[in-house]
Amino acid sequence: MAGLSTRHLLGIKDLNAADIQLIFETADTFKSVLNRPIKKVPSLRDVTIANIFFENSTRTRLSFELAERRLSADVVNFAASSSSVSKGETLIDTVNNILAMKVDLVVMRHPYAGAGVFLSKHVKAQIVNAGDGAHEHPTQALLDAFSIREKYGDVAGKKVVIVGDILHSRVALSNILCLKQLGAEVMVCGPTTLIPKYIGSLGVKVEHNLIKALNWCDVANMLRIQLERQDIKYFPSLREYTMLYGLNKQILDGLDKKITVMHPGPINRGVEITSDVADSKQSIILDQVENGVAIRMAVLYLLAGQAS
C-alpha cells in the first residue's frame, strides 16, 4: 500500500489529494472497526505516543487519546499547565526530555502558529499538529471533509460556506485548503472585520449576508467566535453578532432547500447556532465527533507505518 507523501502532519498544505484520499480510505476501515463489539486493533502495539497540549482542549485531546488506545498504542499525556514549562523550560527541551523516554510520535497543540513546523526541524520524532494558534488544525479539516463525503458520497462539486470568525480560526484555513483540494466550492461569511484580507488569494467567495450564503450552499460550517484570541473588539456585541450571523431554526426552515449544518465545537449555543438547529436532523455535529476518532486513527496508523 502506498504511504503518505509527508513524514509529519503539520498542516493540510503539506498533503496532496492522493494523501487525503488515502487517509479517508483508511478511516473507512477504522470506522467499521469502531462499530464492532471489540473496538480495538493491535496496529500500533509497542508504539508510544505523547499528547503534548499547551492549550486547553476537550474533544481533540480525548479524540486523539481514544484513537491511540483503539490502535493499542502506549499513551503519555502531558499538560503544560502542570509541567516544567511553567518554570521556564523551552519547547525543545520539554519535547526532547519526553523523547528521551523513547516516545515515537508526538501529537501537539500550541498557542503559537508554526510551533509544529519549528519542532519538526529540531526533533527526530514524527509530529502531528493538533492545532497551532490561528494557523492550522489539519485533523479537524480532514474529519469535516470526511463527514461531508459520508453524507453526500463525494466532496467534489459541493458548495460549503464557513460562517463566523474566519480571521482567528485555524479550522477555517485548514478547511478551505482541504475542501479546495477535493474539488468543493468554498465561501466564507461573516463581518468584514472577521474576514482576513488575504482570503481572496485562497480562491474562495466572500459573502457578508448570512441568508444569501445559506441559500447558496449545500453545507454550512458554523464557527464560534474566538474571544480568547481577540485583543480588540471586532463587533459591537455578541447580541448584535447573533442577530446578523446566528443560525436559528426559523432561518433554517425558511431557506430555499435543505442544507447540512456542521460545527467543529465547542458550540456557543444561542450565539452562532441555536440548540434546536444543533440538535436537528439537518445537523451532523455528532457524526463529526464520531468521525474524528476514525480519521485520527488513520493519520496515526499511516504516519507510524512510515517511521524510519
Per-residue pLDDT tens over the stretch 62-72: 999 999 999 99
Q: Do residues 151 and 286 touch, judged by C-beta distance below 8 A?
A: no
Which residues sit in the known binding site? 59-60, 87, 109, 137, 140, 170, 224, 265-266
Q: Do residues 32 and 298 touch, judged by C-beta distance below 8 A?
A: no
Which residues sit in the known binding site for carbamoyl phosphate? 59-60, 109, 137, 140, 265-266
Per-residue pLDDT tens over the stretch 65-122: 999 999 999 999 987 765 555 556 788 888 888 888 889 999 999 999 999 999 899 8
C-alpha 115/C-alpha 303 separation (Å) is: 19
Q: What is the pLDDT of residue 234?
A: 63
Q: Do residues 29 and 36 touch, judged by C-beta distance below 8 A?
A: no
Q: Which domains does the chain have, with CATH numbers?
A: 12-136+290-304 (3.40.50.1370), 138-288 (3.40.50.1370)
Q: Do residues 50 and 80 touch, judged by C-beta distance below 8 A?
A: no
C-alpha 96/C-alpha 93 separation (Å) is: 5
Residues recorded for the chain: 308
Q: What is the pLDDT of residue 107?
A: 96
Which residues sit in the known binding site for L-aspartate? 87, 170, 224
Low-confidence stretches of the chain (pLDDT < 70) are 1-2, 81-88, 226-236, 307-308
Q: What is the pLDDT of residue 228?
A: 53
Q: What is the pLDDT of residue 146?
A: 98
Q: Which pTM value belongs to this model?
A: 0.94
